[in-house]
């Protein structure tokens, strides 16, 4: 009856719709294919798939499932069904409605676009962006005609750092019409690319423009994985993803179970982001390093900047601001030191250290996909280049009551390469990056073991920056073990398990600046080495062939997340110890990864706008 139908109106989600590989429409096809519609019909027990209108269904998520428990590897979809668009179906076909609940479980009632507020909607609406700017009473502009700009002077905010957190904070504030200056010690992506080229080809490290510093932050010359643990379907994550699409990312990132951009896509995206910020009036200063905060009566009132490029021709400059968003990442150790000089509260926190393992990609493909491995075609086929994610819990050596250590794979880069992320020539640390096709012949991932302040103290490091000292210790040891010049100490995983030097036949590495055989047991305290050995053994059970003479461990991976947290008020995002300072992103200890850093920056932008009375939560 019509009443029954009315009960079911709205949006429904259909989960776990499997489409065999040979019938799948391909990775860039985001509409509902015939094969998927057939699967939908099967689940709904709807008699004729071709009678279902495809426009009633939207693909929300697509992943590749090659788990051994599966009879046959397949693509798995989550689809949203808009019942309103099915209303033209013949009434006699409506039987499936009564089967919805028992058949496919409780489906969340949802609107397709959950965004966190009007502002984010406007950011995504091209037309509004260009047309709806309104003049506030004091003459400055905002896209938000529903929000009142204060009649007082225009707020001046500095955002320090142009990584994901700084960019999103700047974007939100600029959309509110705030006078934003974005200060970045590194270079714009064009020049940064040349500096990184000089590093990986000629070993010339620009200490202010490298894999960590420069436009886009640490995430630019990266794998560009957009996976996050903070809730893939949350409005805030969706907003970030949509913003990335708005600036040039492929729409598939909105749907892909493991979204990934790759460095080649990140660079043009960042240029578009920059252009948009400039169109909003953001003053972007590259090659400018914040050396100090100007503090008056316990309140930050500005910053001291110096020319970090040596080309801008000023030694130092004082700039006044109403507030400073600090989005400097966790490699800006000089900033932590500077904050201590202002008695800002910094707290050491847990993070993880370890080694980066590299296998031939073909080996990982065959471990994960068995016979199907041949169909991977270096990122050109339907089947994604294989990855893995492993974790093992290890009892702590010292005290059974303290939490276990975990050892886990981190920042896995299929078809990628190992890169040097040092910012000081006397230190060596590495990470992984890839291009969008993930076509290199190697697969790398960090194997990292959690460490806590007790580990820092055991090594003689104390105080708020004990974790930074702990990181630096291993980076310096690794540099010495490699013999300097960014040469990386390596050991095959087999030899690491046997605690012997890899004498000859070291497998080839994607790392461009050279590797040297070393016994990596000499790097970390014994309990970290043992945790790695124990876990690698377990990983080999899960992924048979993981321990291989073709697999090479590289030292050292120390910057998995921040070793420090800068405590802040959870509502206002303001530092608890220094008024006017807004610590955000990974360096402040509130994010890990591109998406979570972007979300943190976005929320900080909202919090700050609120404190400036640019909007109220209930507006």
In the complex, the residues that contact ligand FAD under the rule CB under 6 A are 160-166, 183-186, 211-214, 217-219, 222-225, 289-290, 327-329, 332, 335, 411, 419, 421, 431, 433, 585-587, 591-595, 597
**What would the two tokens of residue 60 be?**
């929300």
**CA nearest 343: which of 468, 460, 464, 453?**
464
- The b-or-e profile of 274-307 (16+ CB within 10 A means b, else e) is bebbeebebebbbbbbbebbbbeeeebbbbebbb
- Bin 390: left if φ > 0, else alpha if -120 < ψ < 50, else beta: beta
Q: Which residues does residue 122 pair with via DSSP β-bridges, in sequence order?
A: none
Residue in this structure with the two tokens 């299929």, named with its chain if needed: 414
In the complex, the smallest distance separating the C-beta of residue 286 from ligand FAD, rounded to whole angstroms, is 9
In the complex, the smallest distance separating the C-beta of residue 48 from ligand FAD, rounded to whole angstroms, is 44
Pick 33 or 575: Cβ nearer ligand FAD: 575
Pick 52 or 326: Cβ nearer ligand FAD: 326
23 class by beta-carbon count within 10 Å (0-12 exposed, 13-18 middle, 19+ buried): middle
Pick 140 or 289: Cβ nearer ligand FAD: 289
Separation CA 95–CA 21 (nearest Å): 30
Q: Give the DSSP per-residue string, 399-453.
A: -TTSPPEEEEEEEEETTEEEEE--SSTT---EEEEE-TT--SSEEEEEEEEEE-H
**What would the two tokens of residue 440 be?**
């290199």
Pick 19 or 597: Cβ nearer ligand FAD: 597
In the complex, the smallest distance separating the C-beta of residue 320 from ligand FAD, rounded to whole angstroms, is 17
Pick 163 or 453: Cβ nearer ligand FAD: 163
**CA nearest 223: which of 409, 16, 15?**
409
In the complex, the smallest distance separating the C-beta of residue 70 from ligand FAD, rounded to whole angstroms, is 27
Separation CA 374–CA 391 (nearest Å): 27
In the complex, the smallest distance separating the C-beta of residue 472 from ligand FAD, rounded to whole angstroms, is 16
Pick 210 or 502: Cβ nearer ligand FAD: 210
Pick 210 or 479: Cβ nearer ligand FAD: 210
In the complex, the smallest distance separating the C-beta of residue 192 from ligand FAD, rounded to whole angstroms, is 9
Separation CA 57–CA 261 (nearest Å): 26
Q: Is the peptide bond before 556 cis (omega within 30 degrees of 0)?
A: yes
Pick 161 or 384: Cβ nearer ligand FAD: 161
Pick 26 or 570: Cβ nearer ligand FAD: 570
In the complex, the smallest distance separating the C-beta of residue 169 from ligand FAD, rounded to whole angstroms, is 9
In the complex, the smallest distance separating the C-beta of residue 122 from ligand FAD, rounded to whole angstroms, is 23
Q: Give the DSSP per-residue string, 539-567.
A: HHHHSTT-S-TT-EEEEEE--SS-SEE--
* Residue 186 CB contacts under 8 Å (≥ 6 apart), including other chains: 162, 192, 208, 209, 210, 213, 214, 215, 286, 287, 308
Pick 329 or 482: Cβ nearer ligand FAD: 329
User: If residue 333 lies in a helix (H) or strand (E), which one and from where to where?
Assistant: helix 333-341
Pick 363 or 597: Cβ nearer ligand FAD: 597
In the complex, the smallest distance separating the C-beta of residue 369 from ligand FAD, rounded to whole angstroms, is 22
Pick 144 or 588: Cβ nearer ligand FAD: 588
Q: At what angle do helices 594-611 and 164-175 cross, to 10 degrees?
A: 30
In the complex, the smallest distance separating the C-beta of residue 597 from ligand FAD, rounded to whole angstroms, is 3
Pick 163 or 302: Cβ nearer ligand FAD: 163
In the complex, the smallest distance separating the C-beta of residue 12 from ligand FAD, rounded to whole angstroms, is 31
Pick 288 or 492: Cβ nearer ligand FAD: 288
3-to-64, 87, 98, 330, 358 alpha-carbon distances in Å: 39, 13, 12, 58, 60
**CA nearest 560: which of 415, 412, 366, 401?**
412
In the complex, the smallest distance separating the C-beta of residue 537 from ligand FAD, rounded to whole angstroms, is 27
In the complex, the smallest distance separating the C-beta of residue 202 from ligand FAD, rounded to whole angstroms, is 19
In the complex, the smallest distance separating the C-beta of residue 218 from ligand FAD, rounded to whole angstroms, is 4
**CA nearest 65: which of 17, 13, 14?**
17
**What would the two tokens of residue 355 be?**
């080694």
Q: How do beta strands 283-285 and 179-183 pair?
A: parallel
3-class DSSP state of 529? helix
**CA nearest 186: which of 287, 330, 282?**
287
DSSP character at residue 244: H
Separation CA 34–CA 597 (nearest Å): 38
């Amino acid at each position: 009856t019509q009443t029954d139908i009315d009960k079911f109106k709205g949006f429904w989600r259909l989960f776990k719709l499997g489409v065999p590989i040979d019938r799948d429409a391909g990775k860039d096809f985001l509409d509902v294919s015939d094969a998927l519609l057939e699967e939908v019909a099967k689940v709904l027990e709807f008699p004729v798939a071709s009678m279902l209108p495809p426009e009633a269904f939207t693909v929300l998520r697509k992943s590749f499932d090659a788990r051994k428990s599966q009879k046959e590897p397949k693509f798995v979809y989550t689809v949203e069904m808009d019942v309103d668009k099915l209303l033209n179906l013949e009434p006699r076909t409506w039987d499936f409605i009564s089967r919805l609940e028992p058949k496919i479980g409780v489906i969340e009632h949802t609107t397709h676009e959950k965004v966190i507020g009007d502002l984010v909607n406007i950011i995504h609406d091209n037309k509004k962006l260009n047309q709806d700017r309104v003049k506030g009473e004091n003459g400055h502009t905002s896209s938000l005609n529903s929000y009142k700009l204060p009649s007082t002077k225009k707020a001046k905010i500095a955002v320090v750092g142009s990584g994901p957190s700084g960019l999103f904070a700047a974007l939100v504030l600029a959309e509110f019409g705030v006078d934003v200056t974005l200060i970045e010690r590194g270079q714009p992506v064009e020049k940064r690319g040349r500096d990184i080229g000089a590093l990986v080809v000629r070993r010339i490290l620009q200490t202010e423009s490298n894999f960590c510093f420069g436009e886009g932050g640490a995430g630019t010359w990266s794998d560009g994985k957009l996976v996050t643990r903070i809730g893939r379907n949350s409005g805030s994550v969706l907003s970030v993803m949509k913003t990335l699409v708005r600036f040039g990312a492929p729409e598939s990132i909105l749907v892909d179970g493991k979204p990934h951009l790759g460095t080649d896509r990140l660079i043009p995206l960042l240029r578009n982001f920059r252009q948009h910020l400039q169109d909003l009036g953001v003053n972007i200063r590259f090659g400018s390093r914040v050396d100090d905060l100007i503090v008056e009566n316990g309140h930050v009132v500005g910053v001291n900047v110096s020319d970090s490029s040596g080309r801008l021709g000023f030694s130092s400059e004082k700039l006044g601001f109403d507030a400073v968003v600090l989005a400097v990442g966790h490699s800006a150790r000089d900033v932590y030191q500077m904050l201590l000089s202002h008695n800002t509260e910094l707290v050491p926190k847990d993070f993880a250290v370890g080694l980066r393992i590299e296998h031939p990609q073909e080996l990982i493909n065959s471990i994960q996909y068995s016979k199907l491995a041949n169909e991977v075609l270096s990122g050109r086929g339907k089947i994604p280049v294989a990855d893995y994610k492993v974790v093992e819990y290890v009892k702590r050596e010292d005290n059974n009551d303290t939490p276990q250590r975990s050892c886990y794979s981190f920042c896995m880069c299929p078809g990628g390469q190992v890169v040097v992320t040092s910012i000081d020539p006397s230190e060596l640390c590495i990470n992984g990056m890839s291009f969008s096709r993930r076509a290199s012949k190697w697969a790398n991932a960090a194997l990292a073991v959690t460490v806590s302040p007790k580990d820092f103290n055991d090594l003689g490091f104390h105080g708020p920056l004990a974790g930074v000292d702990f990181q630096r210790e291993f980076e310096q040891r690794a540099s010495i073990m490699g013999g300097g010049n960014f040469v990386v100490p390596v050991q095959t995983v087999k030899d690491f398990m046997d605690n012997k030097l890899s004498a000859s036949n070291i497998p080839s590495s994607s790392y461009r600046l050279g590797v040297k055989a070393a016994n990596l047991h000499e790097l970390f305290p014994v309990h970290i080495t043992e945790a790695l050995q124990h876990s690698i053994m377990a990983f080999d059970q899960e992924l048979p062939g993981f321990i291989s003479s073709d697999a090479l461990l590289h030292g050292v991976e120390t910057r998995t997340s921040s070793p420090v947290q800068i405590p802040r008020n959870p509502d206002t995002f303001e530092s608890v110890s220094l008024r006017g300072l807004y610590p955000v992103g990974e360096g402040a200890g509130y994010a890990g990864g591109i998406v979570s850093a972007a979300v943190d920056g976005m929320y900080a932008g909202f919090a700050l706008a609120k404190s400036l009375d640019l909007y109220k939560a209930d507006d």
